[in-house]
Amino acid sequence: MQVGPTQSAAKACLLQFVSQFLGVTAFAFQSSFGTKAHDLILIEWNGSTLAVGCDLLLMPCEDARRLVAEKIEVSMALFRRPA
């Protein structure tokens, strides 16, 4: 993962760790401005992004991966649904 001008080395390292933990590419963290837990932005199968709550990282690895997989499956189903 390359570190861009707006991304610190520490954040890049954390995102790499999160990517390995979840088995998907973690792209960024998104602030919720105090209304809820921050979101973790993931890169989906088709290159789009998917937001999940950062509290997902407090779950056991298998549960967190299953939840992410379920969210991606829902996204794929919506994407493939006829208009």
Q: Does residue 61 carry a pLDDT above 90?
A: yes
Q: Bigger pLDDT: 70 or 46? A: 70
Which residues have CB under 8 Å from 42's CB, separation 6+? 22, 24, 25, 26, 27, 49, 50, 51, 52, 68
Evaluate if residue 51 carries a pLDDT over 80.
Answer: yes
Q: Where are the domains of the chain?
A: 9-80
Tell me the whole-structure pTM to 2 decimals: 0.73
Q: Residue 58 carries which DSSP code?
A: G
Q: Say if residue 3's pLDDT is above 50.
A: no
